[in-house]
Amino acid sequence: MKKFLSVLLVAVCSLAMAMPADAQVRFGVKGGLNLSKMSTDITNATLDGIKDNSTGFFIGPTVEATVPLIGIGVDGALMYSQRGSGDLKQQGIELPINLKYSIGLGDMASVFLAAGPDFFFNLKDVDLTGVDKKSAQVGLNVGAGVKLVNHLQIGINYQFALGDSFNFKNIVGVDTKNKLNTWQLSLAYFF
């Protein structure tokens, strides 16, 4: 865990130092809906309800730094996030850091593409016997959206889990790979 946090700190500092001095930095609030589905390599009647689509939410402060004229920037957020369902609902702190490219459509709107890592730190214990949860997870974000009137941002994002979210070894008798992939619909307001 210490090695993971060290790598995260180096990555964030490197991105911050790479931004030119004339970058526009804006702060805001971001929130939205998580639509999650667990992918697993087993079939078991006990797990059928857990693998279904589930909803949750996320909310928290966000920051965006953009280089004027070329439309390239970085955005990040520190959000409380819920995803998953039932006994396997994850509740924790989510830290997405995305490289963003924006294309202006005039003074009132622009569209953007974004991609980058997503770090999730689970704060809730799983109550299901025989299930081991991961306390920290890394994912990959890919998304797009639109910015309106320079303050409002609407986006859609997909998070690919890069590692396992849960281990069901004691339930099914074999080691399994269980990933929680999530669609995110977001709304952000920048001050």
Kindly write down the DSSP assignment for every residue of 65-98, as one continuous string.
EE-TTT-EEEEEE-EEEEES-GGG-EEEEEEEEE
The CATH number of the structural domain formed by 2-190 is 2.40.160.20
Domain map (residue ranges) of the chain: 2-190
What pTM was computed for the model? 0.78
* Residue 134 φ/ψ, nearest 5 degrees: -90, 130
Residues of the chain with confidence (pLDDT) below 70? 1-23, 39-52, 86-87, 125-133, 165-177
